[in-house]
Amino acid sequence: MYKSKVHELRVYELREYPLINFKLIHFKLIDSFTPMTIPCQKHLFSLQEDVHYLNCAYMSPLLKSVEQAGVEGMLSKRNPFRVPPSGFFSGAADMKPLFAGLIGATAGRIAIIPSVSYGMGIVARNLKTRPGQQILTVHEDFPSNRYPWVRVCEERQLTLQVVMPPDGNENWGKIWNERILNAINPDTAMVALPHVHWADGTRFDLAQIGQRAKEVGALLVVDGTQSVGALPFNVSAFRVDALICGGYKWLMGPYSLGVAYFGEYFDGGVPLEESWMNRKDSDNFRQLVDYQTEYRPEAARYDVGEHSNFILLPMLTAALRQILAWSPDNIQSYCRQLITPLVAFLRENEFWVEEADWRSAHLMGMRLPAGADMEKFGQMLLERKILVSVRGSSVRISPHLYNHNQDINALLEVLQDFRKAM
């Protein structure tokens, strides 16, 4: 039994959730397996019972504790006189150490942002370059980690170097990672990429990439939206200069609020906006018009205006507490066991899925056999209330602790029927 301030992890008889055995396109349920570190956590959510939601990479459902935090935040606005001046700063003081603990940082290095594009905008504004340098990114990255660098390259006479994956499916992640390492050179000003590719789940080896970037004096800027919270992450181990995360996916918070880490490179930088809250002594309301030229230290200068949002910030704080109680290691362990029979089925039936060394357990992409009808497959999924995402040529499957083997059973049944009909 594990208890925290906001929840209780209950112990269940795990045989309630049997694994799946399979042979080619035939499979059956079995009755026992090695217990997972954490049992299914669906009881902490309000998910619709007849829906198989394997789509956390699209948007996470809200925990009941996160919903409650939002409700309490709304109710506080009924009587605003109960919010003291210190209340404008206490929410950030509660949340930042939680996120810092999740990524191996200190609270002073954390900034509150409304979106990934906002965080990348801060990086773009403070990036020091010289004409002729390169910004390196990867093929078909999410637009928020592409558009800023297109503009920066156009304005500063830089080159945007896009590293492509291999043409074939074999050794996809291995070859792609090797190409990234080979592309980093003394003219590289910055490497900007995700930890896990948002479309197909390819995992990038940030330890090697970070080391190579530092060898040539380049920054490493990471979009952690599809990884942080579900996959272990350490800014020091990866030698990350900036980490930008949307909060509504694997951080399990509300939409329109995210978190960022800014390393020493960004100390003394220029924020995107001149918020009163980011200035020295701004918690002294009586002297706010004693205008300050000095910002708050470290990353606090980059906090978005009105970051003390009395509804959204408590929600993200509650979500981070729960994630830390679970731990990303345990989330990976749970998801890995959950998808093991699915991966084996796909491999035996001519679907493509990345090798285990180059994907995470919480987000994986699969590709249909040659000649398969993606629209027909998508329709079959919808009819049986199985929710995943289609991104390019990939079907993206992204489970979490609220999923159990019934969800995988349902997906396998569709795959079996689809394969038979081809």
Q: What is the DSSP string of 180-213?
A: HHHH--TTEEEEEEESB-TTT-BBP-HHHHHHHH
Mean pLDDT value across the chain? 90
Which pLDDT score, from 0 to 100, does residue 83 have? 86
User: Alpha carbon of 115 to those of 90, 118, 175, 309, 313: distances in Å?
Assistant: 21, 5, 31, 14, 14
Task: Report DSSP letters for 273-289, one per residue.
Answer: S--GGGBTTTT-GGGTT
Which pLDDT score, from 0 to 100, does residue 9 have? 33
**Window from 16-25, 174-183, 219-228, 366-375 with minimum mean pLDDT:** 16-25
Question: Which amino acid appears at position 168 of this protein?
Answer: G
pLDDT digits (tens, 9 = 90+) for 243-300: 999 999 999 999 999 999 999 999 999 999 999 999 998 988 888 898 999 999 999 9
The class (CATH top level) of 69-325 is alpha beta
Residue for token pair 């290095």? 109
Domain range annotation of the chain: 2-54+327-421, 69-325
Q: Give SS3 for 28.
A: strand
**Window from 134-138, 192-196, 251-255, 371-375 with minimum mean pLDDT:** 371-375
Q: How far is CA 243 from the centre of its chain?
A: 11
Residue closest to 302 by CA, chosen among 149, 171, 110, 159: 110
Residue 140's CB: how many other CB atoms inside 10 A? 17
The C-alpha atoms of residue 206 and residue 106 are separated, in whole angstroms, by 20
**Window from 15-19, 75-79, 316-320, 338-342 with minimum mean pLDDT:** 15-19
Higher pLDDT among residues 411 and 13, named by residue: 411
The C-alpha atoms of residue 149 and residue 156 are separated, in whole angstroms, by 10
The CA R_g of the chain, rounded to the nearest whole Å, is 23
pTM of the predicted model, to two decimals?
0.90
pLDDT digits (tens, 9 = 90+) for 209-253: 999 999 999 999 999 999 999 999 999 999 999 999 999 999 999
**Mean pLDDT computed over 400-415:** 97
The C-alpha atoms of residue 317 and residue 16 are separated, in whole angstroms, by 32
Q: Is domain 2-54+327-421 in CATH 3.90.1150.10, yes or no? A: yes
Query: Residue 187: is it exposed, middle or buried by C-beta count within 10 angstroms (0-12/13-18/19+)?
Result: middle
Which pLDDT score, from 0 to 100, does residue 18 have? 32
